[in-house]
Structures are given as structure tokens and as C-alpha cells.
A and B are shown apart, each in its own frame.
Chain A
Amino acid sequence: MTTAVEAPEKLVGAPVKRVEDARLITGAAKYLDDLTLPGMAHAAVLRSPYAHARITRIDTTKAAAQPGVIAVFTGKDFEHLSPLPCAWQAGGVTNLVNTPRALEIDRVTFTGAGVAVVVAEDRSAAEDALGLIEVDWEPLDVVVNAEEAAEEGAPQLHENAPGNIVMDWSCGDADATDRALGEADVVVRQRLVNQRLIPTPIEPRGAAATYEPSTGEYTVWMTSQAPHVMRLLMTAFVFGIPETKMRCISPQVGGAFGSKIYLYPEYVLMAALAAKVGRPVKWMETRRENYAATTHGRDHITYLEVGAKSDGTITALKAKTYANLGGILSTIAPGIPTTLYGRMLSGAYRIPNIHCQVLGVYTNTGMVDAYRGAGRPEATYVVERAVDLVARELGLDPPEVRRANFIQPDEFPYDPGILNGLEYDTGDYEKTLDRALEIVDYDGFRRKQEEARKQGRYLGIGLSSYVEICGVAPSAWIGVPGEGWGAGLWESANVRVHLTGKVVVTTGSQSHGQGHETTMSQVVADELGVALEDVTVEHSDTLGTPFGYGTYGSRSAAVGTMAVYRSVQRIKEKVRQLAAHMLEADVEDVAFEGGKAFVKGSPETAKTIQEIAGAAAVGYDLPEGMEPFLDDTAYYDPPNCTFPFGTHVAVVEVDAETGEVELERYVAVDDVGRVINPMIVDGQVHGGIAQGVAQAFWEVGIYDEEGQLQTSSLLDYAVPKADFFPPFEVDRTETPTHVNPLGVKGAGETGTIASTAAAVNAVIDALAPLGITHVDMPLTPERVWRAMRTAKSGGGEA
């Protein structure tokens, strides 16, 4: 008697330990700064000390004469290179685009802009010589606040952008929203500041380059989330050379959080320098440079109006947002506060009337672009604060207002009316709310809170029921005809099964901590029935991987991995065809399961994937017309985005005397669709919570009125430490999406998107007895103490 082919245990859905870790826990991983090339020189960049100034003279003579200095260059030396492109101009509007050059030539618009570069034998010599470059500056008037920069009479940054306006974008129906606000039982108005954040990956940025004059070929190593895009932008838009003349490599990348998506001046500069000095050149950012010259995130000022019926039904939401985009535009800056913010302002709710206007504004500050969550944390903050403001105004319980307005499971796919044609895919929002309230024991907490209030203690609980947009693609939607992205956002993969049965996957996605090598291997191992260790995933080098747009926006599961999945399906089909030939059977009669192909009903005749791969590779005996080898390249462009959701709950106590906030508990119930690796998803959620809570309580990037960055290092910018947090309590529901065959939605940013609003709502709830309805972030002891003092002396909002 024969037994059925035993199916190996499925890896998808299991907490498989990461294959990446062996090199990371032993110090063997090679990050950018670990790269040493024969004859390598080192570069250091002179940066503007002024936020807005003309350069009237630069003299590099003394610096160039220093021992160890090879050469010194200024912006004029790279005048022939075009400015860096802005690749995402907000859909439907004219963006007034001003972007960085390799080095600025005659004018700077933020402190930290590069104006000269020293190339020297070692890094110390390069840095020492910076101080000997003489620059005559003519300082100009400065404006750092987006709302002020948009006012009449403000200092003007760019001739082509009158009023400092980059773009004036809107979505929704203004008239209908105004009418609905007029007819609402209550209207709550609130000004909300979503402060500037500094991403702070623990590895700063860096780049190194070589140039081979005999072939005209550049090789550029860089800390990038998107090496293929870097090559495209540098060759086609800056250098004006064929992309085949440049190879871009992202080595091991030490965290990014969005800040390493973009093309930066230094990457262009290293390539140009390698050609100029005829040696490999490397530059590694210091932390202070990282704070001054790498992109920041958020920085919105929003005027919110929300209308509701007296039963808590929200009828209208109107937002006018000033989005600070900095002194010049980073690569995808205009798309963040528009597509990824304005279009998400319906949140998890049926809101029949929405209007959002976004003014993108130039100011004399560092560039602002996507930072983990990118637009969705800002949108979630507006929506979730709005819900709590309505609850407070009407004296209703915040969970009940959420329930009253949730989009219901049977309403999917749901068109919120402002997504420019996309629909929310699937959801069961109330389930995550119920589960979160159960874990936190909401009713029990309310009783405890009541008791504590009698003793003069301020306990609070805050909710955030979010929905976000992941797997950002459909090229036709995101691209120029739709949302204005200058290309498509499909992904690609190649899968090859070698003669020995070992599988090599190459992907255009780029892992910088997410564990793609593990999760993609899990999918491939399951589909082909091979062991996890028989799959190798290669990425991050334009030589040898197919084109990809890179990893950001929680898109590598729902888009990048789907390209891998599609490729594997086609390989499996070829496996069946070849197996049929080997088994002398009809293809229709052959099944492929658990790594074995067999005639249905006769598993004892099975050929293993290794045998079939070997047969395909040697090619001695193939069916007529079949090409040798199991090899397939797939391009995947999804039909829709995916929309993860969930409910987060923060529990805090505010010190009545000092205003200090203690985070007592944090509960997260997320639904990211089907989960490939729960261990990795939990890790993503944990990290996201920490970053989002940090915005609520601690982090803020501050420029003074002269445009000097006051939070210019880790001494002054409050990146949270291990003892800032309680243990996180993380749970999940699983509502698969139908957008892709694996049912996955994406999990990289949910924590950041949800947690900021939950944490702030908790503090405002704690302060309810004082009549406080809002305090702007970060909720430092000083701010909370001031709010309490103002409230006690008769004021309301701080």
C-alpha cells in the first residue's frame, strides 16, 4: 500500500528564524563604511552654516595645500551635472520644483547644504581641511515655519515659487463639505501641529564610487533603499549617460525608515569625484551631518473642522494643511502630504463629506520627505484626534464613536471617495477594536481611572483605530496620469533552480532590516517543496538583479514578494510539463506537491524537484520545444493597493505635579492580512510603536528663527531608549486581501501609523478633568505642565 506524498510543514505562517542573522550577530556583515577599496581616498563635505545665503566667493587655496589633501572642489566644478530630479510631483498640479545639486553653486536655502568638498588620503585630513576653505556669505532673510512662509511679506526662497508655494493640492468636495459642516449638530475645530521628526537610522548615510576611464563605467556603493532607482536617476537625469554605464550597490544597510529612499547630492558627488581624481572615493556621513543634510519627516500644521450629528455620526471632515517641504525638494517630497496623506483622511470611517487642501511650502529648513508611515501617520493623527474631539464634545465614549462610524465588513471593497479610484480592499475594523479593549480591560480601566481621579491622579486611555495604504503600486494609479509619480511601481523577480536543486531568487526589492531573505525564502520553499536553506535571495545590486523600485511604503510583501510568487508559479508549471515527459504521462495527470511531481494517484512514481531541475539543467532529454533550465523572470503590478488596519490602545499616567507622562501599557491589535512570518511582523510592529510613541512624547526637530538646527545631534534629539517603554502587548486578527494570491497586505509601518494618535489621545483623556481638549506634540513634561497650569487658571486648550 502506498502512502500519499507527505507534505512538509508549511513555512509561510511560521516564525522562521532569520537567515540574515548569522552575519549580523557575528560582525561579519559589511555595511557601507566597512568597504575599503585599493587606493581609496576619502571625502568630506563643507556645509552651509547659514539657512539662507548667497555665496559671493569661495577660496580653496589653503585647504588644497594641506598635507594629505588630494583636491578641493566647489559647486562650479560640477556645473555640468544637472540638478537632482524630483521624481514624484503631486498628481494634477504644477509643482514648482527646486532640487539639490551635487554641490550648491551660488545660493543655499538651508543649513547643511553642501558647497565644497575635500578629497584627501584619509578621513581626518579631509575633515581638517574643511576649516581652511574660505567662503564669503551674504546672509538673506530666513523663514522656517510653513504657515509663516506662506504669508504675504515672508522672505522668498525661489523666484519660480511665488509665496514659497511648491504646490496647492486638494481632494474631496469643498462645497459639499462646507454644506455638511453647516448642517452638523456640532462642529469641532482644532489646529494640529504634526511636528518635524528626524528619522535617525543608527547607520548614517554614506557612499563610495569608482570610475573606469577605459570603459566609462561607474560603480557606486550607497546606503540606499532603492539602488535601481538611484542608477536610473543618476544616469538619466544627472549625468546624462546610459544606465548601463553605472552599477549601483547597496551593501548591508543599517536602518533607513524612508530616509535612504532618495537620491542625495553626495551619491552623485562621489561618482563625479571618482572620475575627477581617478581613484575610488568614499564619504561617510557623521551623525551631525545626518541631522542637517538627510531628510526629515512630518512637519504639518493642520486646521481641522469636523462635523457630527449628536449621536456621534461624523458627517464632514475638512482639513487645510501646510506641509513644510524644506529649502529644496527631496526626491519624492510632494507625493507624501498629498497622495499618502490627503487621500487617507477618511480613516476607518464612513465620512460622507471630506475636503482636504494641502499647501506644500518651501522654508529655510532641511528637506522633508517620507519618514516611516509617510503621510499615513499624519492622516491617522488628524482622523483619530478628530474622533476623540467629537466624542469629548458630545460626551460620548471614544470606542462608541468609532463603532458608530466604522466601515462595516460587508461594505468592502469600499470607496472613500477621495482615493482617486482605488478602494479599501478588505476589513473588519470592529474586531480589532473589540480585541484591543478586551486585552486592556477597558471597562476595568475606566473604573480604576475614576478611583484615581478621586485621589487627584490623572490616568488616561487612548485609542487609535487606523487604516493605512500599503503595497503602493498600481502603476496606472500612482504614475504620471494619476498621482504624479514619474514611473510605475511594479516589482520584479527572477527565480532559477540550479542543476543541484538549489534555488536562487534575485529581487528588485531591497532589504534593510525587514528580513526579505527569510520571508521570500519561506514563500519559495513552500511553493517548490525545498528546504529553506536551499533558497538564496540576492538583492541590492543593479548587476545581477532585475529592475525594482525598492523597499518603502510596506510594499515588499504585497508587491516585491508577489513578483517572486508569480515567477515560482511559472516554474512550477514547467516542472509539471517536464515531469510529465519524464514520467511518460499527460501533463494534466501530473501533480506537483511538496517538492515531488507524480502521476495523480500514483505517488510512488514521484520525481523530486531536484531530479527535475537536474534534467532541465542538463537538457539531454526535454520535451519538444522546451528550453533548458528552470528559470523565470516575473513583473508584478498589483490591481490595487492593500489596506491594513487595527486598533492600538495606550494607557498613561500623567504626574499631576510635573506633567511627566508615564506610558503604563501599550496594546496593539493589527490586521496586516495573511502573515508570512509572525516573528518578523511582531518585530516590525514593536519598532513602529516605539517610533510613533516617540513622536507623541519626546521627539521634535527644532529650527530656531535663524534657521539653525537646535536638535543637531543625539545630544539634543530625543531618540527613545530601552527604559522609556513598558513591554508591548501585541495581537492580531487576520483578514486576507483578495488583491494578491498570498493575501498579504504589508506590515512595515502600522506601528508608527497607529501609535502616535493612541498615545496623545491617552494623555488628553487623562487631562479631561481639567477640561483640556488638546496639547500639541511632543507631550513633554513642560508642555503638559503648562497646559495643566493654564487649565487650572481658567483656560481650556493649551
Chain B
Amino acid sequence: MSRVSITVNGTAYERDVEPRRLLVDFVREDVGLTGTNVGCDTSQCGACTVHLDGRAVKSCTVLAVQADGGNVTTIEGLASNGALHAVQEAFREKHGLQCGYCTPGMIMTAVDLLEANPAPSDEEIRQALEGNLCRCTGYENIVRAVHEAAEVAR
């Protein structure tokens, strides 16, 4: 067991974890935030995407011990003072989700994209999202949602 200290959505959590413990299991089971989902075991689907020190990572591919001392934001930590993040609002506005399972990861990736590129083109959005699989929407309305969020932010 290793002692780790990881800040999740502004709260510091100290836990003893097995060296093989994945960050996603730390977030879901040790911290109890289940908004982050798991969809594959090969780092393809991106459902588990969170922010680690400000950048989007697939939390199934990061060990908890690697995140020691780090700052994690999950979908539950995206809204501030009760107001949804512009990307969350845009996903609802543009029907960018159906079953919702990929949505937390998709939103976290989109937020990361817009922080790096506030006015992405269609092509840039599609490329940025290529590590996040959605089986419901055909991506069409997700792309529209990201555009919408970018416009609202401008």
C-alpha cells in the first residue's frame, strides 16, 4: 500500500492505495464520485476522462500513485457556485447526449479543448474528440455543442 494525497474538486483526500490502483477507481470508489464512467479496458473510449492538473487525462490509464500530489477535476466539480459550465449547458442545448454514459468524459475533453483553443473549427473539434467514443449521437450534436459553448464563451 502507498499513501497518496490527491485533491479532487478542491478537497484533499489522503488514502492508502495498492500500487496498481487506477485513478478512476480512486475517484469512483475511494472518493465516491461516480460521475466519471468506465467503458473499456484498453484506454480507447474516454468515458473516464477527468482533468489532472488542468489537462484532460483518461483516468483508467493513470495510476493513483502517479496522481499523488495532483489536482483532479471531475464532472461533479465543473459547475461553480451552482452554475453549470458553458460546455454542460451547451450539451443540453444542442442535444449533445443521449444515454449520457460517454458524456462526462466528452464534456471534460471539450472543456480541455476550448481552454487551449477557444474558437475551434469543425475539424479541430472532431480531432480533439477522437479519443472519446460515443455510440448514440453520431457525434453530430456533440460537435454542435462544442461550437455553441465556444460561441457563448466569446
Q: Is the CB of A202 within 8 A of B135?
A: yes
Q: In the complex, what residues of A have CB within 8 A of residue B75's CB?
A: 25-27
A20 part of interface (Cβ distance < 8 Å): yes
Of all chain B residues, the one with the shortest Cβ separation from A200 is B135
Among B28, B37, B97, B138, contact of A203 (Cβ-Cβ < 8 Å): B37
| Proximity bits, B138-150, A CB within 8 Å = 1, else 0 | 1111110000000
Q: Is the CB of A687 within 8 A of B98?
A: yes
Q: Is the CB of A715 within 8 A of B44?
A: yes
Q: Is the CB of A30 within 8 A of B126?
A: no
A29 part of interface (Cβ distance < 8 Å): yes
CA distance A255 to B97 in the complex (A): 11
Among A33, A513, A686, A713, contact of B40 (Cβ-Cβ < 8 Å): A713
A21 part of interface (Cβ distance < 8 Å): yes
CB distance from B53 to the nearest CB of A (A): 20
CB distance from A121 to the nearest CB of B (A): 13
Tell me the chain A residues, 702-745 only, with Cβ under 8 Å from chain B: 713-715, 719, 721-723, 725, 727-728
Given A25-B88, A27-B34, A202:B140 Cβ within 8 A: no
| Proximity bits, B87-99, A CB within 8 Å = 1, else 0 | 0100111010111
CA distance A201 to B33 in the complex (A): 22
A253 part of interface (Cβ distance < 8 Å): yes
CA distance A21 to B84 in the complex (A): 12
Total cross-chain contacts (CB, 8 A): 175
Q: In the complex, what residues of B have CB within 8 A of residue A255's CB?
A: 98-99, 101, 135-136
CA distance A746 to B147 in the complex (A): 30
The total of chain B residues at the interface (CB under 8 A) is 56
Q: Is the CB of B133 within 8 A of A202?
A: yes
Of all chain A residues, the one with the shortest Cβ separation from B131 is A721
CA distance A682 to B126 in the complex (A): 19
Q: Is the CB of B135 within 8 A of A680?
A: no
**Taking chain A's interface residues, is the majority helix, strand, or loop, or is none over half, making it mixed?**
loop
Given A202-B99, A254-B101, A723:B130 Cβ within 8 A: yes
Q: Is the CB of B135 within 8 A of A18?
A: no
A-B contact pairs, 15 of them (CB 8 A): A22-B92, A25-B88, A26-B84, A26-B88, A27-B104, A200-B135, A202-B39, A512-B99, A683-B140, A688-B138, A690-B137, A691-B135, A722-B142, A723-B127, A728-B140
| Proximity bits, A286-307, B CB within 8 Å = 1, else 0 | 1110000000000000000000
A201-B101, A713-B44 known; 13 other A-B pairs, CB under 8 Å? Answer: A25-B97, A27-B104, A31-B34, A202-B37, A202-B45, A252-B100, A254-B37, A254-B39, A254-B100, A254-B102, A256-B99, A287-B41, A722-B132
Tell me the chain B residues, 60-116 only, with Cβ under 8 Å from chain A: 74-76, 78-79, 84, 88, 91-93, 95, 97-104, 107
The total of chain A residues at the interface (CB under 8 A) is 57
A585 part of interface (Cβ distance < 8 Å): no
Q: What is the interface of chain A, defined by CB distance below 8 A to chain B?
A: 17-18, 20-31, 33-34, 124, 200-204, 252-257, 286-288, 512-515, 679-680, 682-684, 686-691, 713-715, 719, 721-723, 725, 727-728, 751
Given A26-B88, A27-B34, A725:B138 Cβ within 8 A: yes
Among A20, A34, A679, A722, contact of B34 (Cβ-Cβ < 8 Å): A34
CA distance A8 to B97 in the complex (A): 28
Of all chain A residues, the one with the shortest Cβ separation from B40 is A287
Of all chain A residues, the one with the shortest Cβ separation from B141 is A683
Q: In the complex, what residues of B have CB within 8 A of residue A714's CB?
A: 40, 42, 44-45, 133
Q: In the complex, what residues of A have CB within 8 A of residue B134's CB?
A: 202, 722
Q: In the complex, what residues of B have CB within 8 A of residue A686's CB?
A: 137-141
Of all chain A residues, the one with the shortest Cβ separation from B36 is A27
Given A25-B91, A27-B76, A683-B137, A722:B129 Cβ within 8 A: yes
Q: Is the CB of B95 within 8 A of A683?
A: yes
Q: Is the CB of A18 within 8 A of B39?
A: no
CA distance A307 to B149 in the complex (A): 54
CB distance from B39 to the nearest CB of A (A): 4
CA distance A257 to B98 in the complex (A): 12
CA distance A203 to B130 in the complex (A): 18
Q: Is the CB of B91 within 8 A of A202?
A: no
Given A21-B97, A714-B133, A715-B44, A725:B37 Cβ within 8 A: no
Given A25-B92, A254-B37, A721:B138 Cβ within 8 A: no
CA distance A690 to B143 in the complex (A): 14
Q: In the complex, what residues of A have CB within 8 A of residue B23's CB?
A: none
Q: In the complex, what residues of B have CB within 8 A of residue A252's CB?
A: 100
Q: In the complex, what residues of B have CB within 8 A of residue A21's CB?
A: 91-92, 97, 100
Q: Is the CB of B107 within 8 A of A25?
A: yes
| Proximity bits, B14-50, A CB within 8 Å = 1, else 0 | 0000101000000010000111111111101101000
